[in-house]
Chains A and B, each alone.
Chain A
Amino acid sequence: MKCRVCRGPAVVDVRRHNANFCEEHFLKLCRDQVEKAIHDHRMLEPGDRVLVAVSGGKDSLALWDILLQLGYETDGLYLGLGIGDYSSESGRFATGFAKERGLNLEEVDISSEYGFDIPGGSRAARRAPCSACGLTKRHLFDEAATRGSYDALATGHNLDDEAAVLLGNVLRWEHEYLGRQRPVLPAGDGFPKKIKPLVRLGEREMAAYCVLRGIDYMVEECPMAEGNRHLAYKEALNGIEDRSPGTKHSFYFGFQERTSVLFAGAGDSAGRPTRCDRCGAPGNSAVCAFCRLMERAGGRLPAAPEPVPVELGATRSNGQGSATT
């Protein structure tokens, strides 16, 4: 096997491109594909501040690594979802990555901050675990990106993820989801801009990227994923891709370039935009889906932070120290 670029010995094959690459040129390919996605879909401007949703898995850590190399200012946010050993171990990979590189990673443990975990929330709300988990992550990542005034929230969804979701949405003609299945969603109505810079890369490429860059990641699967529909769609697509490489790419990007416009607007919030009575999140119901899930699972919002006493030299009074600025 020879590298397509330099004819040196190759270490990885990418069948979608019908090509093999050496380490140097494979890593360059990954960076170039992310750069192209960012450029083609106008995800970011030079110098933008980005919040990376970090899970400790291959995709989010590779994404963070590539965004840093491309020169973006980034912070990470890791959510402890309370899924037993899976959560504690993936948390170690996320913090290990950030620590080794001196990066800023915020960690939020939902059991201690919000009083529930994903297995409990899923049972209490009678929702599939991945659905309870997905809504929790979307809510907390959106909220953090807005609170921190980031230019965008970046997630590690890759081509395999997006093609599988697209297949699921097409099989059921979920026109509202199809209307929102884009690599970038602009900011608006209190939501941050959301970007998926890995849409041009497959999951095998992301795993290979991590191995070659020496990034330790959580290889083991979340135990809640087993048997979900998403995995079945991935398997179906892998069977087709095996016989005709490039199918996932043309399925997903053909939709983006030619068909997605037919569904434009279908997923935009129906009803009057409002704020959640409990947490203030944007949405269109009085209590948002996250707060409903949390309350059914017996959780609660964290207490508002205590005002920090500020002692002003000139007005120091009786030690109550509640001066405001």
Chain B
Amino acid sequence: MDGPMAVSALLSKLEIPRDTVLVIRDGTLVPGDAMLGPDDHIEIRPVISGGRS
């Protein structure tokens, strides 16, 4: 990542549909329009569970 980038831009660059993940920084949610810096540590957490019962 060169320079700051919006969460939504990062997800589309990675081709991840926005509704299938949450972006988490320091234990809290980062909204789609938030800017991420090159030093930010984020978790992209999938939210889809597959089990059926």
The minimal Cβ–Cβ distance linking A271 to chain B, given in whole angstroms, is 24
**Cβ-defined contact, B17 with A133, below 8 A:** no
Taking chain B's interface residues, is the majority helix, strand, or loop, or is none over half, making it mixed? loop
With A212-B28, A242-B17: A130-B22 Cβ-Cβ less than 8 Å: no
Query: CA–CA, A212 to B30, complex, Å?
Result: 11
Interface residues on A, range: 35 or more
Interface presence of A207 (CB below 8 A): yes
Asked if B28 and A211 make an inter-chain contact with CB atoms under 8 angstroms apart, the answer reads yes
Q: Return chain B residues, CB-CB under 8 Å to A10.
A: 31
Q: Is the CB of A212 within 8 A of B31?
A: no
Interface residue count on the B side (C-beta < 8 Å): 21
Pairs across A and B, CB under 8 Å, 15 listed: A13-B31, A57-B49, A58-B49, A130-B51, A134-B53, A207-B47, A211-B24, A219-B46, A222-B50, A230-B50, A231-B50, A238-B17, A238-B19, A238-B48, A241-B19
Instruction: Mark interface residues in B10-45 (1 if CB within 8 Å of A CB, else 0).
Output: 000000010110101001111111000000000001
Which of A138, A211, A214, A225 touches B49 (beta carbons < 8 Å)? A225
Residues of A within 8 A of B19 (CB): 15, 204, 238, 241-242
The 8 Å CB contact of A12, one of B31, B45, B51, is: B31
A12 touches B29 (CB 8 A): yes
* A160 beta carbon closer than 8 Å to chain B: yes
Within 8 A of B (CB), among A119-137: 130, 133-134, 137
Q: A: which residues have CB within 8 A of B?
A: 1, 9-13, 15, 20, 57-59, 130, 133-134, 137-138, 160-161, 164-165, 203-204, 206-208, 211-212, 214, 219, 221-222, 224-226, 228-231, 234, 238, 241-242
Q: In the complex, which of the residues B17, B27, B30, B50 contacts A225, with contact meaning CB atoms closer than 8 Å?
A: B50
